[in-house]
Amino acid sequence: MASEGEEFDMEEDYEDEGDYDEEGEDDEQIVDADEEEIDEAPRRGPGPGQMELPAALRNIPNIHQILGLAPQAAPQPAGPRRPRVDESEWDSLRRLPGPTQQKFLELLKSLQSRQQKSLTVLFLGKGATGKSSTINSILGERVASVSALGSAPEQVDTFIRNSQGFQLKLLDAPGLLNGDVFNEQAMQLVVRAVQQLKVDVVVYVDRLDGYRISQADHRVLRGVTQALGPSIWSQTVLCLTHGSHPAPDGLSFDQYLQKRQEALLKAVKGSGAKGSPAVVVVENAAKCEQNSTNQKVLPNGSVWLIDLMSKVVHCAIANEPYEWSPKVERMTDPNKKRRWLVIPILLAQIALKKFVIDRILEDDGAVGDQYGPFEPETIVENREVLQRRKEAAKRRRDRERTEAPARRAPVQQVLEDDSDEEDLDEDSD
């Protein structure tokens, strides 16, 4: 690490090794490649002293003992892997196009001039939205595992790159959706990760080519708000991948982006968020168009990688680093909200029963029964009987209150007499 006063060398020569193909192939090709690897993997035969049984005999209990064979060892289940931490010099920065390198160095230098020597960015979102691919594009190398099925990573992986005294730290979180259910386990992994460090910016990744906000989207957004707090969205950049997807008929790219952006921001606000995230569109695939300087551009001509890093750095400058606090969980847990209302509501229910419901039930018994309403004269008589009972009960309670002190007085006198006798016995001794 360089000293604090060291600055970036803006005149440093760069090597333009051509455009970095982050995706390599389309999602379908990635899946096919995985299948080929599985097909080409050699099959394991039986070990020494073992014999492979026919399928019809494998389910018979104790078949190996019956035949006098050594049982085959059962496969051991693989335990959860540890979080990956990949730290090295940011040599792959030179693989990015020249103007992109220069802009990255300018942005990082602006942070360093504010006595900030590191930038920590947390990537969140559902699976298969492009979190890992975007990290690979930023770093200019394939470091994060990319899966078309959204099954990786299983932990919060950390990728650290050092350059001229500055440290860029990117955290790749697991997908927050398991089927249509919010992945609580993945969110807990994220919480444990942010408890140990300060996060400057959160990049929430979704897809531009989503045509509606589903209930699963709402569950994920609410889960993030509850776990990290409503203020987390004020230091979040909303990243929309698959930016080269053609717009629907009748819409320009900007109109298409505006509709998708408004829908997502409305859903974020509905999750209880405080603040509104900035929005950026990216395209990690090799099919992304390039300008004359080999920078990937969107259909509207903007260089998305520079736009992404610019908004991340500006968000880091405008906000203090996020620090997780247990208060966040207490404030956002619906089971712990407004607990002070329990006692007032209980008292209100007791008062409602005593002064309203009981009186209604008493009067209901006076005016009729299961066979129908009483005659008016009978109703008057029943109400008089009820009134006399209430007055008698009140006189009985008043009498008990006045007689209670008189009943307690002899008992108190007996206790005092016993105490005096004990004192006299001690004196005589």
Q: How far, in Å, are 131, 155, 261 from residue 207 at the CA level?
A: 10, 22, 10
Residues 249 and 173 in one domain: yes
User: pLDDT tier at 106 (50, 70, 90 boundaries)?
Assistant: very high
Omega of the bond leading into 153 within 30 degrees of 0 (cis)? yes
Residues 387 and 279 placed together within one structural domain of the fold: no
Residues 6+ apart with CB under 8 A from 379: 366, 367, 373
Report the alpha-carbon distance of residue 31 to residue 172 in Å, rounded: 21
Strand runs labelled E in 129-288: 157-163, 166-172, 177-178, 181-182, 201-207, 236-241, 278-281
Which domain does 370 fall in, by range?
343-428
Instruction: Provide DSSP, 113-144.
Output: TTT--EEEEEEEESTTSSHHHHHHHHHTS--S
Q: Is residue 5 situated within a structural domain?
A: no
| Domain shared by 308 and 348, yes or no | no
> Is position 6 within any domain?
no
pLDDT tens digits along 198-254:
999 999 999 999 888 999 999 999 999 999 999 999 999 999 999 998 888 888 999
Q: How many residues does the chain have?
A: 429
- For the domain that residue 201 is a member of, what is the CATH number? 3.40.50.300
Model confidence, pTM: 0.64
The sign of the dihedral angle between the CA atoms of 293, 294, 295, 300 is positive
Same-domain check for residues 348 and 303: no
Q: Is residue 112 part of a domain?
A: yes
Query: Which of 332, 366, 400 finishes a domain?
Result: 332
Question: Which of 13-17, 149-153, 229-233, 381-385 comes out lowest in average pLDDT?
Answer: 13-17
User: Binning pLDDT at 50, 70 and 90, where does residue 113 land?
Assistant: very high
Per-residue model confidence (pLDDT) at position 21:
46
> Mind listing the pLDDT tens digit for each residue in 305-351?
999 999 999 999 999 999 888 776 665 555 666 667 788 888 888 88
**Residue 39, C-beta contacts closer than 8 angstroms, at least 6 positions apart:** none
Please indicate, yes or no, if residue 357 is contained in any of the structural domains: yes
Residues 6+ apart with CB under 8 A from 315: 200, 201, 235, 236, 237, 278
- Is the domain of 357 the same as that of 309? no
**Sheet with 201-207: strands ordered across:** 85-89, 157-163, 166-172, 118-125, 201-207, 236-241, 278-281
Same domain for 348 and 379: yes
Q: Per the domain annotation, does 350 fall within a domain? A: yes
In this structure, the answer to whether residues 122 and 245 fall within a common structural domain is yes
Residue 32 maps to a domain: no
- Is 176 in the same domain as 298? yes
Question: Does any domain span residue 14?
Answer: no
Cβ pair 156, 190 in contact under 8 A: yes
Could you tell me if 323 and 348 lie in one domain? Answer: no
**134-222-149 Cα angle (round to 5):** 40
Residue that is last in its domain, among 304, 332, 360: 332
The closest alpha carbon to 117, from 76, 166, 66, 55, belongs to 166
The pLDDT score that the predictor gives to residue 360 is 80
156 and 233 both lie in a single domain: yes
Residues 266 and 383 in one domain: no
Tally of domains within the chain:
2
Which of 285, 317, 347 shows the shortest CA–CA distance to 148? 285
Q: Are residues 320 and 365 in the same domain?
A: no
